[in-house]
Structure formats: structure tokens, C-alpha cells
Structure 1
Amino acid sequence: MMAGAPIDDVMEWSQTLSSWKQDALRRLAISNELIDADIDALLAMVKSAAGFKLAAGPQPAIPFTKAHFGNGEHQPIVLTRIANVENVNRLVPKASLAFCPKALTIVYGRNGSGKSGFVRILRTACRTRVENPVKLKVLADVYGGTPGPQTAEIVVNAGDGEVVIPWSPGKAASPQLMQVAVFDTASAQLYVDGGNQIRFLPFGLALPHRLNAICITLKEKLEAERAVAVGNKVGLTSIVFAAQRNCKAQLFDKQLNKLTTDAQIESATSFSNADEQRIEELTAALSAGAAAAADVNALSKWTDALLLESEAVGSAFTDDALEKLRKLRSTAAAARQAATVAAGALFTDEPLLGVGGDAWRSLWAAARDYSVTEAYKEKTFPVLMADGGAAACVLCQQSLLPEGAARMQRFQKYMDDILDAAARKAEQAVEDALRGVHELICLRASDFADRIEQVRKRDEALADALANLRTSAVIRREEALAKQGGEENGMVPPLVVPIDDLKVFALRLKAEKDGLAQAGNSEERAKLVAEKAELEDRKLLAANKLLLTTRRNLLVVDDGYTKALANVQTRGITQRANELVDAHLTTAVVTRFDAERARFDIMHLNVGLARKSGQTKAEFEVDPRTKLTKVTSEILSEGEQRALALAGFLTEVALTDGSGPIVIDDPVSSLDRDRSAKVAERIAEEASRRQVVVFTHDIVFFNELSRAADEVGIEPVTVALFSDKSAAGKVDTAGMPWKGQNVAKRISRLKNDAAPLPKLHAASPAEYEYQVKNLYGRLRDTYERVVEEVIFRDIVRRGTDVIQTQLLRYVRFPDALAIRFHEGMTRANTHSHDNPAADTVAVPLPNEFTEHISELEALIVDLKAESEAAEADRPQMKPKK
């Protein structure tokens, strides 16, 4: 936390805020996050200040004092381990990775060993600059078939014992894990191009931004409430007048607002029966005119015609009339069927079928007509003899042979038969009855619908009755004309003819037509028009009285929300927050950023850092200081980008609340060895102040980081990961690879591995010889590392191009120590090499190997003492004048 000055400035500024904002600051000072009850209480205060009538008023605000700040500190956490990992990348089931609770943890592993899987878990659970959900996505083993969700446990310790925080993709972040900052390749470019974002401001400076967040939350809630309570409802209460005119009713409607009283609405919407009668009188008087008279006259004539037609319908299409037609059809059908049966018996020997049927009788009638009118005029049909010989057939035009003449006589006999005559008589009766069916000229006219609408304007019930009459009459007419009628009356709708109502309506039309003799003086007519318009608009206003009251109430509520929303505006808070950040933080951020750049030797890069703040956060953006591009990564090399990103990351974590752990993945990607060493020194320095976890695949950087940790007095915990064909993320129980261990760790490893030798020597000399031979090889490696690390004080390091010539003053190698080194190295070579079978070199006993380790330890002590003595014996270097 920064000094008290920011808090003093926030206190001074807060005194000018409204009571609810002071209460919000107080609640924020007490708790980092507000619960729903806090939000609801603040919302009630805002609405109360805006004039809302609440069921229970909000609690009075407690004055905001400096005591609410406390010490602004929180209990830092320690990242203990990741455990029980399931279905994450190729990590082995139940994968686990423990971290040093203090100082530095170095996780080493070659490519594909599983480091990224653990980092991806931490990146999604902890604090990172990466916000793109696609880049934060954690995959399962894409080549495996293991079912189940992706899960893990992140174990932390906040001072009261370990706490297990469950993790799964998409799970809401834990507030405790927000203290852990993660840096990796995905976030590196964001620090370069996106700006060095200070997400967690020092305690006092964070309050205005957090107050903005509360304002935004309250604004969203108010807008959501407003959308439900008001929304577009005001528009729905608008009244649509037939015409826009300057009358009192319309003027009242336009001027209605939140201050309009119930009494004013009551007065503006008064409308009585007398007013209604007056409208009818005015309408009748003003409707007078040639066109109106013509319309009424036409409607009157149509009504008279319809009245006559309705009377005819009332007699012609009754159920009895339809039943009579059905009986006539039935009689004709029965007579025809009897005649057809008789014809069937008479013409059984005819060569063609159907004689006596409908088609045949039509043919016979046509032949008869042709005979008497054209072929054999004025002779009785059928003509069998003509001019003393056989007559010609009127159908085939050939002479009638005896057989044909006999057939014609049979046909004529049939046609003269009583049954056929009866059938024809019955059928003629049906035809005669159908000719009398009414045409329904009015009811079936194309303008019937228009006429009905004219009637409806005057008498809606009569209009409905006439519409029903038309439907029934048309269907009954179709029934009457149908060749096959229904068996029951229920097949047609009932017939109701409103004769009496129609007569009354006709009389009303006549009276209306006679009354169209009004419309005289033009001035008087204008007055009548204005009076009628005022009454009509007031009638509409009265019918919509509820809409007027509803609109007034909505405007009252909307005004309250307008006032409340004005009280949660963030512009003033944002301005003051930025002023506080500039006064107390901007200089510190820029200074720290430049200091970090200097540590990584990138001060020559022409980039700057400028504040770019939002409503709820302060942000510092890297400026490439060129008009050609706004993207810094387009200018710098990859190595410069990585160094700049690390500088930004370390600036951010240095200036945020607390001293939470940091996780750094592959920090020296694309860096040269010189700058890699600087990064190692900087990380080791940071590890002396907070918990640091570093993931790397670079063994040289691993050694540099280990040495840098030793120089600041830190004993780093090292973890080695490896993978095989089955899975990744396996922890090597032997610890770091041999080549990554310094002299002290190698000797410790040799002692540990030598402990089982006595038992092994007693149980299996052959196996003992195999194991001790390998240990002597490791002892030889250690002697070689002594040359680099102890004798020459890491002046030249393998894998780096750094030569620390200033350390040459410590180098002195007396003969006695050289002989001891030679003897020990020779012995290690002898017992590690493959000696001839006939060689008499004896295999050293377990206690001899232990002695040889002790001799190396003693030699190292003496070499270090000699080195310090060499420095002490040298004359002090004096600078040249």
C-alpha cells in the first residue's frame, strides 16, 4: 500500500459526494467486493434520493471516515501445489506439482514434458493479461479417449492452513488466486502492444475506480428496472385522434406531464349523455348535402328492394318449400326408374345397351325433331314408308329394312308408354318448379357487402341479421336448384327474415332523407363543425381516461429513474480517479518501468509509457513513439519484445496490492545469453521478496537462475518434469538432471546414492561393482565441475559467452592442491573406466568410496580458502589518474 497521501486525498474528495456514494466508499473500504445486500441497500438509497416511495426506507449512511481504510493490507497467500489434475492435455492422471512455499521454485523439463499443461491451469485460474477465451481454453488430450471433465485442485495457504480451491475451465475465479500473477508467451505480446495494465491499484487509489464499478452496476440495475417499469409503455398510452386540430381536448393530451393532477384529468375527460345526443344532432345537420342525400336515397331504394326480396325469400325458401321441391325430385326419379325398368325388359334383345336411358331419350327426341322439321315435314314420327318404298333412317340416312322398321316401331311404342309419359310429366313438374326459384337480385349482388357496411353504421344488429339472411338464402337457393336435395332440413342453415326490423330501418332512412334539408349559413356551419370536433375529441379523451392516468404515472416513475441515473454518472468520478492516479501513481509506474528496462539493458529502445485509464481501472500503455505504427511488436525484435514484456510484468506486480506469488513461463525465449543472465538475476532478486515459480526448458538458464539464487542467499527448489509415450507431467523422483546440478548438489547426491552400498556389497558383489563403477563416473563429473565452479570461480561458464575476467583475482592453484586434485581425478577415472579383465585394479570397498567423497569435500574447502587468500594477498587495484 502507498503512503497516507492518497487516502487523505480520497477522504477530502469523498466529503463532496452524496451520502449514498460515501456509504458505498465505506462499504468498499470494509470489503473488497460488495454482496447483493450491499448493492440493494445502495440502490434503495439512490432511488430514495430520486423521489421513489419505498416500502422501507434505506438505512441512514454512516459518515465516511479515515478509520474505514484500516491498514489497507490483506493476508498474502502462498501457492502450495497443483494436485489431482484430470484430463488436461497429456498430463498423467492425478498429476501433481508442488512449489516451494517461499522464495524460488524452478520447474525444468524438455519440450513436451508437461510444463505448459500446468501453466495453462494457473493462467485460467489466476491473474493474467490474457482475456481472450479462445487463448485461455484448456484442451484435454486430443489424441486420447479418456472421458470426464477437466478438473484440478490448486492448494494455497493464507496463513491459517492449506485451502483447496477446485478448478475447472470456465469456473469463476477465486479472489485469493487473483493475488497470483502469471506471465507467459500469450501475455507477453499484450504487455508490449496492449499496455502495462495496473489491474489492482494501491488501496486508496482503487476506491474511486471501484466506486465507478458500483455506479455502473447500479446504472445497469436502474436501466433494467426502467425498461420493465417504463420501457415503451409511454408510447403505448398515446391517444390517436381522427384529425389533428387545436381543440382543448387535444391540447390537454399534448401538455399532460408528471405534474398533471387527478382533478385536471377528471375535468378534461367529462362527457355526458347530453353530449352524445348533441354529437348526433350535429352530425345529422352537417351531413346535409347533395352527395349525402344521394347516398341516403340510394340506400333507401336498395332497402325497399331488399324488403320485397326478403318477403319473397320468406315464402320461397322455407323448409316447406324446399321439402316440396325434394318431393317433386323424388317423384320424378321414381317414375324415371320405373320407365327404365320397363325399357330394360322391352329392349333386352337390342344390339346396343342403354336404350331407354337419358342419353338415348335425348337422341330419340333430337331424331324426332329433325324428322318433323326437316326430313319428313308434317308426317308422324317415325316415318317408315315414303314414296311407295321404305323410308330412310333419320340417323344413318339408309333405307329402313324390315328389322330396322320394327325396331323403330318398338322404340315409339316405348315412348308412348304410360310409365315413360308419367316420368316425363314428373320431370317437367320439377323443371317448372325450378323456373320459379327467386334470383336473389339484392342478396347476391356484388355490392351487398358495401351496403351492409352502410347499414352497420346505422344499425349493427340489423347488419348482422341481413348478413345471416344472405348466407341462409343463398345456400337454400342452391339447395333448391340442386339435382339431388338433402334428406333432412338440418343440411341447410335456418332461415330468419328480419322483416319487421327491415321495415323500421326503411322508415328511419326515409326520415333521414327527409331531414337532409339542413345546412344553410356558412358561418353557422363552421361553428357547428368546431363544436362537433370538440365534443368528439373530448369523447375520445373520456374513453381513454385510464390511458391518461397511466401515462401521467409512467412519466412520474420515468422522471425518478432519470434523476437516479443522473446520480450514478461516472464522468466526475472517473476524472477525479485519474487525477489521483496521476498524482500518486503515474510517476511511480513510469519510474519503475524505466528501472526494469535498465535492468534488462533495453533503455536504448525508444518506447514510452502513458496512462490510458477507463472507468474501472487505470491502464498504462506502451507508446512506440512513431507515427508509422501504434503496434510496438512491429518495431522490436522478438528478444527485445520479451525483455520489454518482462519489464512491464514486473512493473505491474511491483505496484499492485500485496506481494502475491508470480508464475513465469519460459522467460528467456528469444533472449541472448547476456540478457538471459540479467533476467536470471532479476528473477532471483524478486524471489527474495515473494514466492516465484519459473518454468523453463533451457538448462543453461536453469543453471544461471540457480547461481543467481545462490548469490542472493536463496536455496531454490528444483523440480524436473518428463514425459513418455503414455503421458506427460511426470515428476522425476531423482530431481534435476545431473548436468543441471552444481558441485554441492552433486556431492549431496553422491552421498545419498552411496548409502546402500554396504548392504549391496554384502548381497551381490557383482551388482555392487556395477553400481560403484557408475558412482565413480559421477564423481569424475563432479571433479570436472569443480574446475569450472570452484577453481576458476565460474569465470567461464559452459553454454554462455560471458567471461567474468574480474574474478581472475581469486584464482590460485598451488602444487599441493593440484596434486590432490590430480590424484582424486585419476582415482575416479580409474574406477569408472572399463579396465582389462586381467587387470589387478581392485574394486574399492564402500567405505573407501565414502572416503574419496570426503577427500573431494576437503579439497573443495581448501580450494575456496586458497581462493579467498589469493584475493587477500593481492595488492588493491588503484584507479589510474
Structure 2
Amino acid sequence: MGAVEEILDWSATKLAPWRQDALRRLAGAASLSGQDETELLNLIKEKAGFPLAAKPQAPTPLSKAHLASVASGSPLQIKGIRNVKNVNRLVPAAALSFTPNGMTIVYGRNGSGKSGFVRIFRTACRTRTDNPAKLKVLADVYGSSGGPQEAEIIVDLGGGDVVVPWTAGAPASEALLQVAVFDSNAAQLYVDGGNQIQFLPFGLALPHKLNELCLTLRDKLEAERKPITDQVALVTVAFETPRTTKAQTFYAGLNGKTTDAQIDAAATFSPDDEKRIDELTRILAANTASAADVTALSTWVKNLASESASLGQAFSDKQLDGYRNLKQQSIDARTAAGTKAADLFSSEPLPGVGGETWRRLWLAARDYSITDAYAGREFPVLRTPEATETCVLCQQPLSAEASDRMGRFQAFVSGSLAATADQAETAVTQAIASLPQVEIFASKDWATRLEQIRKRNAELADAVTSFKKEVEARRATALASLRTPETPPSPLAVAALVSPHGALQDLSTVLSAEADALAKADQSGERAKLETERAELADRKILAAGRDRVIKRRDLLKKDALYTAALAEVQTKGITQKANELVDTHLTKIVTDHFEFERKTLEITHLKVGLARKSGQTKAAFQTNPGTTLTKLTSEILSEGEQRALALAAFLTEIAVTEGAGPIVIDDPVSSLDRDRGLKVAARIVAEAHKRQVIVFTHDLIFFNDLCREADDLGVTTETIALFADSANAGKVDPAGVSWKGLSVTKRLARIRNDFSPLKKLHASSPSDYEFKVKHLYGRLRDSYERLVEEHIFCDVVRRGVDRIETQKLRLVHLSDALAIRFHDGMTKANTHSHDNPASETVSTPDPAAFESDLAFIEQLIADIKAESISAESRAEEPRPKRPRVVPRRYRARRGRE
């Protein structure tokens, strides 16, 4: 259906009848006037209101504005996670809130639910873990709740809070890919899998993104192209023999640019061409074999003619009669001999003497006698007066009568009648042996040679075939006549035996002459010319018969060529090379230098592990190199602690070169690390919190304190969360925060002040309850004085529970007498009001004003101790005047004696 007809059919269902008639008249008039079809279509579409296909959007040239940094604007911040459902043992609707600027530390003992939240982040955000089994998030395997694992992650992209839904197994949100997650699974991949830069700076990522687009387009183009290539493979013209004829050369070079005129010229085949093929076929049919083959055939035909003449003579009618007569003579002679024997031996004890059966017995006895029994003596051996011999038949001594009988038998056998019969039978045996064999007619190549004869002379081939059958039948008749024990049968009326030897001799002569001519033709190249001409005509005939298929194949190749050109435009080799050049120029040194910086920061420079770029089509990667040829896996040569430190260095390198300042989530970073390196990790994480939002999950209370102390020293905003679990669920948030022993002095005082606030009203309403609770707060105050010794008096040089002494901080330690007395007074008062006092109430309970004064006292004491430590550090850094060397008295005496 043409485009005009399609529009008119559409109008039949959409327009009023009068408008349909108007359109048809318009189309008819325009068609009769020879109006261009494109103009006609546009006119009809305009009049009919036919829905026009949307024009493809014009491509927009790439400009500098398109290369703007994706990190421009406010970075993503994680505000919290809530409404957690069916994730591990986490309590239903579990939720956490995170400080958007600074660091959030989530502390909890083993099994408190930290891993459940980390697994959510690991599947929702960017992580090195890509194993589906590792990314799988389970429900409570021991619980009874059902349903999918779900949660809501609250983020701020600069325009307010946005809820990002998360479901286990669903694709991650593009926004959350700015968040990097580090945990134990990722640590192993950073060590052995290499540090892969998944988010390059946008300018460097552009070639890789272009490669991704090219690969996507290539897949789509190849999918669209496949039906066409499949049809090209099916729409073919099959030539009988592959050869370099013009027709086959044209067909092999067929392409989308081949015109119909070129196809017609190559596929032209006329009736005269058909006649010429038949003529060439007849000429070459007589010369299909080489000169040697024709010579061999000529010799074979000559031998067949000779055998035909021999067989024709041997099995003629006259010869067959002679074979029957010869057999009859032997039968008659033997009968005559048998008749005389009957007369001579009629009185013998047994009948049949002289007959054929008896004769065979006699001959066997003679052979036995002269060969075995009486070797060398004449048969038969008879009785003599001197000796009595043994009969060779009955194996008993010969009597006189038996000896006489044996003599008479021998006389009969050697008589004239018997001799005549023997001669006649010998003549029959010789006739059987002299019958000629059918050799050439029964040769292995008989069928092949007969077919060669038939191609030249079908009548001769039929005559030879008939002669073969007749000869075989006559030979069988001759054998039957000579071998029969009875009178031979009378001959049947058969056709006369006509030997083809004359015709075969003539053919042999012709073949010999043909072989000579063929040898001469081969030498002159005439045969090759004829074969070439016939091949050209035969292939052109096949091409002409398949002209429609050739045109269809040309059309398919034309479409395929368009896809080939399109696929050439999406090749990625050049883009990949340029991308690697850009990465090497602008990123490789940055990555390797930063990796070295991180290794120095974590004090693992003694490890010979480095980074090497390993890029692909759609990504640039930096893979860890173990620095030895003995293994490809870094994990096989590093301890657990070294692996974790190296993985942290790789992770921090990745986020450093990743565009933007997206948040990072770190789970138990100091697992397997020693104390010294744990402090360095804490300092490094806090330093990173100056640049981006950091969320840390840990079960290590000492590391928790290290993070808090480093954050206080660097002024990083820190929020702490304490998780705990009970027998029912995990992931519960302790409203009181982290346990008391995990708090610094400053946070302890803030907790005390916060807990004391409601006691002011209690002092007026229930003095007893007030006394009970304020006594507890004084105990907390006493704990704070004890912790003050570690943190501020000894400036963390020595801390309980820590297996190291930071001697480099001794320069900060200084405690004046006045401050020592103030400390003693404050500690004494805290002890007094926290211990059990006498019932005589000699020690009164401090009122709210007195307690607040005691809190202010310790806070001021801390401030003064800090000021004095700073002053002491400043004095330690001032250059000291040189003092004269004083030699001890004992050394002076020694020097005098010398």
C-alpha cells in the first residue's frame, strides 16, 4: 500500500464523507497532472489533518557549557535513615539521625545492629563490593516477620530534605552514588581488586561516558542489523563449482552501490548462449578425460575385443555341440566296459564289478597299495609260492582264490575297453579345464568402463552387455554338459551368439586416435579455452536465473552498509586511547602521589605495594601491585592489620580524587589494627570530616574516644549515637547516649549539668529524692575529676586501658601548686558528698546553688589547667641560655692526677 493510499484509508475512518470525496478528487487531479508524490503527500496531509510523525530533534553541538562540573552546587548530605523494615534483627521502624556537617559516630557492642545499617548503605550507595551474594540483605532469619527489606534514606541536595526509598535488590539511586562506603568486604577488594576510580573528574570522565554511549549504540545497531545480516546469508545464488568466472567475480563483489544496469549486464543470457553451451558440452564430453585416460580406455577396449573373439569362438553353437558329444563318448565307452565286466564277473560273490562305483574303489585301492601298503611294487600284489601277501582291501592274507580274483580284476582294468573309457573321461576333464574364463567382462572397473563406452556408442554398450550375458550363460551350459553323469540334455533354442569384437576393435582404433588428438589439443591450449568459455556461460546462466535474488541481496547489502558505516562511527578504540592519555596526564600522578601520602599518614610505607593504572573502555582503574612476582594477590603477603591499613589508604585515595565531596560511611576501620595505627586512623578520619560528612560505625570504645578527642582538638562537629540490642531486636538507640566511661571530661560535665537541671524543682518538692539523686551526680563529678587527671593534668600522656605512653606530650604537662590545691579541694568535696556520711548530718546536702558552684569550679579549673599547659608549651619552645659546663668534683680529681 502506497503512502497516499494509506492516508486516504485513514481518512475513511476519521473524516466526514464529503471531506473524503474531496481528498480523493484532490489526489486524482494531482496524480493526473503529474504532481510530485512528495508534494502530493504534504498537500493531502495538510488538508486532511493527518497526524504527522514528529521530526527528530536536531543535534546540539558540544560546547564548553556542557562540560560544567557536576560537583557545582551544594553537595549531598545524609540527614538520616528511617522506617527500616525486615533488615536483620533491626527493630521495626529503626531510625538514625546524622549530623550533616561534621562527623557522626555510631557506637555499639557486637550484635547491637550496626552491621544492619551498614548493609543498607552498602547496597544503596557506592561500594567496591559487587558480589551479589555479599550485597544481599537478609531479614531476621530467626524471626517470623515477612515482606521485603525496605528503608528510607533522608538526604539534602541543597534544596531541602529528600526521601530516597531503598529496597533490597533494587537499583541504587543516582544521588546516593556520591556516598562512598568502606567495610570489611570492600577492604578485601581494595587490597586484591585494586583501587578503582569509579567517579572521575567530569572532564576526564567524559571520554569514558562517551564510550559507554558508543557501546550502547553499538549494541542497538548490531541488534537492528542482525535480521538483515541473517537475510543476507539466506538470499544467495549457488554456483555449481567455485571458480573465477566473470559472473562469480561480479557476484562476489556485489554491494549496496551496484546498480540495476550493472546487474542486467552481468546476468544477460540469450537463447544463442544456451545453444553454445550444448555445443561445448558435446565437444568436451568426447574429451572429458586426459590423453592418458583415453589411452588406457583404448587399451582396455582392445583387450575386451580380443576376449570377445576368444569367447565367441569358445562358446559357439558348434563348440557347445562338441562338448556334449565328448561327454556322450565318455559315457558310452564306460558303459561298454561295464557290459563286458558284467559278463566276465557274473559269478563273483558281489554284483557291480566293473561298474563306476567299483572302478573308483579299485583305483583307490591301487593308490593306497603303491603309495603306502606296498610302495615300489606293482599293483596288485598277489600271492606267490614263496609268500602269502595281505589284501589291501580286507587287510587279511590273500587266499589262492582271492589272489586269482585280483589278477582277473587287473586284467579287466588294463583291457582295451576300460582303457578306451579312461581316455574318453580324460578328454572330458581336459575340456573342462580348457574352458576360457570371463576375465575382462568380470573386472572391477567393468561398470565404469562400460559407462565410458556408452557415452561414445550406446548401441555398442548394449551389444557388449548382451554378449556378456550370453557368454556367461553358454559357459554355464558347457560346464553342465561336461560335468553331468548322465546323457547331456539336448540344446535349447537360443539366439545366435554375435561377438562385438569387430566393433570394439573399431572403437579402440578411434580412442587411440582421440588420445593422440587430445594430447595435441592439450598442448595447444584449445581444450582449456573451450572449458573456460563453457564455465563462463554456465555461471552467467545461473546468475541470470537468480537475478531477482541478486537484486534483493543488493538491497540488503545496501542497508547493511549503512549499519556498517554507523558502527564505524561508534568505535571506541580512539576514544579509549584519548581517555587513557587524559587520565595519565591529569590523574595518574595525582592518584599515585595521594596514595603515597595516605601510606605515609598511616605509616605503611615499608610495604612495597603500589598502584598502577589499569583502564578499560568505560572506566579508569588503579590496581594494587604486590611488588613481587611470587603472587598476584596482595592479601597473601600482608597481615590482617596491614591489609586493613592498605585498604584504608586506597579508599581515602579514591574519595580524594573523586569529584565532589560526597559523604563517606566507614564501618570498623580499626579492625585488626594495632593501637598506634588506630590513633593515626582516628586522626585521618577526623581530618577528612573537615572536608565532608563522615559517618563511622565502631564497636571499639577506645577508638570511639580517640575519634571524639581528635574531633574536639580540631573543632569538628561531632554527634554520637549509642546502639544496643536486647533479646528481641537490635538497632535500638540509647537516649542517654554512649556509656559514661566512653565520655570525655567535657561531655561528662555537660551530661551532669543536663541531668541536674530537673533536680532544682525536686529540691523544693522532695528533699529526700533530691538528696538521693544529687549524691549520684557528685559520684559522677568525682569520676570526672579522675578522668581530668588523664586528659588535662597529664595531657593524655598516660591513659587507663591504653597500652602506650605518649611521651612527646610531656612538654604540655605542668601543674602549679595553686592548681594542685584547687584540684584537691574540688576532689575532696566531690568525695565527701558522694560517699556515705554519718547519720548525725554533720555534712549537709548542698543546695542547687552550691552544686552549680561546684560544677563551675571544675570547669574553671579545667580552663586554667589548659591555659597553664599552653604557657608551659610556649616556654618549652623558647631557646634556653647556655650555661657554663660544671665538671663534677670526682672527675676534677681524676683529671689532676692525669
TM-score calculated relative to the size of structure 2: 0.61
Give, in angstroms, the shift of residue 255 of structure 1: 4.5
| Whole-angstrom CA distance in 2 between matches of 1:688 and 1:247 | 80
Give, in angstroms, the shift of residue 719 of structure 1: 1.0
In the other structure, the counterpart of 2:212 is: 213
Give, in angstroms, the shift of residue 550 of structure 1: 1.7
Give, in angstroms, the shift of residue 534 of structure 1: 8.0
In the other structure, the counterpart of 1:102 is: 101
Give, in angstroms, the shift of residue 211 of structure 1: 1.8
SS at match of 2:220: helix
In the other structure, the counterpart of 2:198 is: 199
Give, in angstroms, the shift of residue 175 of structure 1: 2.1
* Matching of residues 419-568 of structure 1 within 5 Å: 541-568=543-570
In the other structure, the counterpart of 2:255 is: 257
* Matching of residues 720-735 of structure 1 within 5 Å: 720-735=722-737
Question: Per-residue CA shift, 1:248-294, capped at 9, x if unaligned?
Answer: 65565444333332233345556789999999999999999xxxxxx
Counterpart of 2:804 (choices 785, 799, 802) is 802
Distance 1:116 1:263, change over 3 A: same
| Whole-angstrom CA distance in 2 between matches of 1:774 and 1:246 | 108
| Whole-angstrom CA distance in 1 between matches of 2:80 and 2:592 | 34
Give, in angstroms, the shift of residue 790 of structure 1: 1.8
Counterpart of 1:817 (choices 816, 819, 826) is 819
Give, in angstroms, the shift of residue 791 of structure 1: 1.6
Distance 1:676 1:532, change over 3 A: closer
Question: Per-residue CA shift, 1:688-723, capped at 9, x if unaligned?
Answer: 111111111111111111111111111311111111
| Whole-angstrom CA distance in 2 between matches of 1:225 and 1:211 | 21
Contact 2:125 2:181 in 1 (8 A): yes
| Whole-angstrom CA distance in 1 between matches of 2:607 and 2:115 | 30
Distance 1:876 1:264, change over 3 A: closer
| Whole-angstrom CA distance in 2 between matches of 1:573 and 1:540 | 47
Q: Does 1:625 align with 2:623?
A: no
Give, in angstroms, the shift of residue 536 of structure 1: 7.5
TM-score calculated relative to the size of structure 1: 0.62
Question: Per-residue CA shift, 1:329-362, capped at 9, x if unaligned?
Answer: xxxxxxxxxxxxxxxxxxxxxxxxxxxxxxxxxx
In the other structure, the counterpart of 1:755 is: 757
| Whole-angstrom CA distance in 2 between matches of 1:849 and 1:568 | 78
Contact 2:127 2:181 in 1 (8 A): yes
- The one-letter code sitting in structure 2 at the alignment partner of 1:256 is L
Distance 1:552 1:815, change over 3 A: same
SS at match of 2:142: coil
* Matching of residues 361-380 of structure 1 within 5 Å: none
Q: Does 1:655 align with 2:657?
A: yes
Question: Per-residue CA shift, 1:648-703, capped at 9, x if unaligned?
Answer: 11111111111111111111111111111111111111111111111111111111
- The one-letter code sitting in structure 2 at the alignment partner of 1:184 is D
| Whole-angstrom CA distance in 2 between matches of 1:856 and 1:620 | 53
Q: Does 1:187 align with 2:186?
A: yes
SS at match of 1:621: strand
Distance 1:753 1:549, change over 3 A: same
In the other structure, the counterpart of 1:354 is: none
Give, in angstroms, the shift of residue 544 of structure 1: 3.5
- The one-letter code sitting in structure 1 at the alignment partner of 2:263 is I
Counterpart of 2:589 (choices 584, 587, 590) is 587
In the other structure, the counterpart of 1:449 is: none
- The one-letter code sitting in structure 2 at the alignment partner of 1:146 is S
Question: Per-residue CA shift, 1:468-490, capped at 9, x if unaligned?
Answer: xxxxxxxxxxxxxxxxxxxxxxx
In the other structure, the counterpart of 1:18 is: none
In the other structure, the counterpart of 1:154 is: 153
Structure 2 stretches lacking a partner, 5+ long: 1-52, 287-510, 519-526, 884-898
- The one-letter code sitting in structure 1 at the alignment partner of 2:651 is F
SS at match of 2:762: helix
In the other structure, the counterpart of 1:174 is: 173
Counterpart of 1:832 (choices 831, 834, 842) is 834
Give, in angstroms, the shift of residue 234 of structure 1: 1.7
Give, in angstroms, the shift of residue 793 of structure 1: 1.6
| Whole-angstrom CA distance in 2 between matches of 1:268 and 1:659 | 69
Distance 1:662 1:244, change over 3 A: closer
In the other structure, the counterpart of 1:137 is: 136
In the other structure, the counterpart of 1:82 is: 81
- The one-letter code sitting in structure 2 at the alignment partner of 1:618 is A
Distance 1:196 1:766, change over 3 A: same
In the other structure, the counterpart of 2:162 is: 163
- The one-letter code sitting in structure 2 at the alignment partner of 1:614 is G
| Whole-angstrom CA distance in 1 between matches of 2:243 and 2:184 | 72
| Whole-angstrom CA distance in 2 between matches of 1:85 and 1:794 | 40
| Whole-angstrom CA distance in 1 between matches of 2:567 and 2:58 | 20
Question: Per-residue CA shift, 1:415-456, capped at 9, x if unaligned?
Answer: xxxxxxxxxxxxxxxxxxxxxxxxxxxxxxxxxxxxxxxxxx
| Whole-angstrom CA distance in 2 between matches of 1:241 and 1:871 | 100
| Whole-angstrom CA distance in 2 between matches of 1:117 and 1:698 | 17
SS at match of 2:99: coil
Give, in angstroms, the shift of residue 878 of structure 1: 4.7
Question: Per-residue CA shift, 1:69-104, capped at 9, x if unaligned?
Answer: 345643311111111111111111111111111011
Give, in angstroms, the shift of residue 647 of structure 1: 1.1
* Matching of residues 639-718 of structure 1 within 5 Å: 639-718=641-720
Distance 1:879 1:168, change over 3 A: farther
Contact 2:721 2:734 in 1 (8 A): yes
| Whole-angstrom CA distance in 1 between matches of 2:878 and 2:869 | 15
SS at match of 2:135: coil
Distance 1:543 1:835, change over 3 A: farther
Give, in angstroms, the shift of residue 193 of structure 1: 1.6
- The one-letter code sitting in structure 1 at the alignment partner of 2:139 is A
Contact 1:215 1:569 in 2 (8 A): yes
In the other structure, the counterpart of 2:221 is: 222
Distance 1:249 1:165, change over 3 A: same
| Whole-angstrom CA distance in 2 between matches of 1:273 and 1:604 | 92
| Whole-angstrom CA distance in 2 between matches of 1:570 and 1:254 | 30
- The one-letter code sitting in structure 1 at the alignment partner of 2:741 is K
In the other structure, the counterpart of 1:237 is: 235
Contact 2:110 2:699 in 1 (8 A): yes
Contact 2:100 2:693 in 1 (8 A): yes
Contact 1:674 1:801 in 2 (8 A): no
Distance 1:242 1:693, change over 3 A: same
| Whole-angstrom CA distance in 2 between matches of 1:729 and 1:119 | 11
Contact 2:69 2:202 in 1 (8 A): no
Contact 2:101 2:717 in 1 (8 A): no
SS at match of 1:670: coil
Contact 1:681 1:705 in 2 (8 A): yes
| Cα RMSD for the two superposed structures | 3.6
User: What percent of counterpart residues are identical?
Assistant: 62
In the other structure, the counterpart of 2:110 is: 111
In the other structure, the counterpart of 1:347 is: none
- The one-letter code sitting in structure 2 at the alignment partner of 1:856 is I
Give, in angstroms, the shift of residue 246 of structure 1: 7.2
Distance 1:875 1:86, change over 3 A: closer
SS at match of 2:749: helix
| Whole-angstrom CA distance in 2 between matches of 1:879 and 1:222 | 84
Number of residue pairs matched? 596
* The structure with more radius of gyration: 2
Counterpart of 1:789 (choices 765, 788, 791) is 791
In the other structure, the counterpart of 1:861 is: 863
**Bigger CA drift: 623-632 or 529-538?**
529-538
Contact 2:148 2:168 in 1 (8 A): no
Distance 1:707 1:275, change over 3 A: same
| Whole-angstrom CA distance in 2 between matches of 1:199 and 1:169 | 22
| Whole-angstrom CA distance in 2 between matches of 1:59 and 1:844 | 82
Question: Per-residue CA shift, 1:205-264, capped at 9, x if unaligned?
Answer: 22222222222222212211211332x222211233456677765565444333332233
Give, in angstroms, the shift of residue 770 of structure 1: 3.4
SS at match of 2:855: helix
- The one-letter code sitting in structure 2 at the alignment partner of 1:93 is P
Question: Per-residue CA shift, 1:806-861, capped at 9, x if unaligned?
Answer: 43344333444334333332333333334566775444444443333233223323
